[in-house]
Amino acid sequence: MRIKDFKLEEYFAKHEFNVKYTLCSSDCESFSVDELLTLEKDSLEDLKGVWLGYTESLGSPILREEISKLYENIHQEEVLVFSGAEEAIFVFMNVFLSKGDHIIVQYPAYQSLYEIANAIGCKVTKWLMDDENNWELDLDFLEANVNQSTKCIVLNFPNNPTGYLPSKEKYNRIVNLAKKNDVYLLSDEVYKFLEYSIAERLPSACDLYNKGISIGVMSKSFGLAGLRIGWIATKDKALYKAIASFKNYTTICNSALSEFFAIMALRNKSVILKRNLGIISDNLNLLDNFFYKYKDLFKWIKPKAGSIAFPRLLVEDSVEDFCLGLLKEKNVLLMPSTNYNYGDRYFRIGFGRKNMPEALKKLEEYIKEKYEALI
Ligand SMILES: Cc1ncc(COP(=O)(O)O)c(C=O)c1O
């Protein structure tokens, strides 16, 4: 397979570990092993007993049981564990799609959600979101573009990078449209549980539709990206079997230590999510004030969920130059929209980390120096 470079991941690989402040990370603040071990009594002894042989290729049954509790109506045999959501997406796309298939992908999007399909030779229709319309998705577009060769609609709610979350009513209409046209739904739900109002949390696609495939991960809402534990949940048994079989050519099975920590984190999910939502809420208040103060420089659409947003730079400068200047002058990393193949006017900002207030101060210094005449 020939596939284009993953722009966003290349950018992180180049800068993330050399920069002082990463102000565009999408994952929540992580934990040390020590912090995780304090969540449960006797956990250090349990850790010492972890057996470091091969693990079950579908994922540990205990872990799959814990993951299944994140859903309404999913059993552990409907959960398949991967090395991150990235492997889950890669394997799903390879098993499910063939050259010439048509898919519709909500856009802007995390690159693997459309690039793997491009590399396979699929026809990819981008279902565009626009900040002029508060990032709202246009259902008429979807209806007009689903056709006989459409195999799949790819969704990502809460959305990376916009923080968009549709209403439950709109989401149900999308699911019903997929059902009516017998089209699969690949639902990337890696930011689920980071809704600012629980009432707005959407049901998972795998719970609503037997052709719904939900993808989850420990990296984002739970802040445990270093575990590299993600999963697929689906009621489609044939697809599940084919995906499990393909995994024998990628990672075969998961890291035993990562499974151990993922089980512990999921057993204590309410503590972890409360902590992460607390960080997000404090940081979002700061961002609201910041963007209000500098409303002549940025267009800010407050996200509805998640740990990232996608403001627009209103001044004429290229956003790439803006981000590069910030990196050079203040040691702060933002993600320009060029890495999403979405023009040169937006940037991704992340607010799941504890040091966001410090990084924001640096950004403020930068814009005060750079746009002194405008503010
Ligand atoms: C929407 C989305 N899906 C999948 C992934 C991949 O997650 P992971 O790196 O944990 O495999 C990411 C990571 O940024 C993401 O934002």
pLDDT tens readout for residues 265-298: 999 999 999 999 999 999 999 999 999 999 999 9
Dihedral angle computed from the Cα positions of residues 197, 202, 207 and 209, in that order, rounded to the nearest 10 degrees: 170
Residues 323, 274 share a domain? yes
Domain boundary among 199, 234, 268: 268
Q: Does residue 94 lie in a domain region?
A: yes
User: What's the domain range around 314?
Assistant: 7-32+270-368
Q: Which atom of ligand 1 is nearest to the CA of 219?
A: 10
Give the domain CATH number at 180: 3.40.640.10
Indicate the pLDDT class of residue 208, thresholds 50, 70 and 90. very high
Task: Locate the ligand 1 atom nearest the alpha carbon of residue 225 and give its number.
Answer: 10
Domain ends where: 237, 268, 299?
268
CA–CA gap between residue 122 and residue 100 (Å, rounded): 5
> For residue 49, is pLDDT > 90?
yes
Average pLDDT over residues 73-99: 98
Assess whether 194 and 284 both reside in one domain: no
Atom 7 in ligand 1: which residue has the minimum CA distance? 85
Shared domain check, 183 and 131: yes
Residue 305's closest CA among 198, 180, 208, 225? Answer: 198
Task: Compute the distance from residue 220 Cα to the ligand 1 centre, in Å.
Answer: 8
Parallel, antiparallel, or unpaired for β 332-333 and 335-336?
unpaired
CA of 222 to the centre of ligand 1 (A): 13
Q: Which helix (H) or strand (E) holds 180?
A: helix 168-180
- Report CA-CA distances (Å) from 314 to 176, 319, 322: 38, 10, 11
Q: What share of the chain is helix, strand, coil (3-state, %, to 5)?
A: 45, 15, 40
- Dist. CA 130–CA 164, nearest whole Å: 11
CA of 225 to the centre of ligand 1 (A): 9
Mean pLDDT, residues 33-55 taken together: 97
Q: Is the pLDDT of residue 162 over 90?
A: yes
Q: What is the pLDDT of residues 326-348, one digit of tens each?
A: 999 999 999 999 999 999 999 99
Ligand 1 atom showing the smallest separation from residue 84 Cα: 11
Minimal-distance CA residue to ligand 1 atom 14 = 26
Residues 110 and 206 in one domain: yes
26 lines ligand 1 (CB under 6 A): yes
pLDDT of residue 1: 81
Atom of ligand 1 nearest to the CA of 27: 14
Sign of the alpha-carbon torsion through 304, 27, 80, 237? positive
The yes-or-no verdict on residue 375 having pLDDT over 90 is no
Average pLDDT, whole number, for the chain? 97
Residues above pLDDT 70, as percent of the chain:
100
Which of 115, 160, 192 for mutating ligand 1's site (highest number of atoms within 8 Å of CB)? Answer: 160
Asked if 213 and 185 touch (Cβ cutoff 8 Å), the reply is: yes
- CB of 240 closer than 8 Å to CB of 78: yes
Is 158's C-beta closer than 6 angstroms to any atom of ligand 1?
A: no
345-374: average pLDDT? 96
Q: Which of 250, 268, 286 is the last residue in one of the domains?
A: 268
pLDDT band of residue 220 (cuts 50, 70, 90) is very high
Mean pLDDT of 309-313: 98
3-state secondary structure (DSSP) of residue 61: helix
Q: Which of 154, 108, 6 has the alpha carbon at shortest distance from 312?
A: 108
The total number of structural domains in the chain stands at 2
CATH number at residue 350: 3.90.1150.10
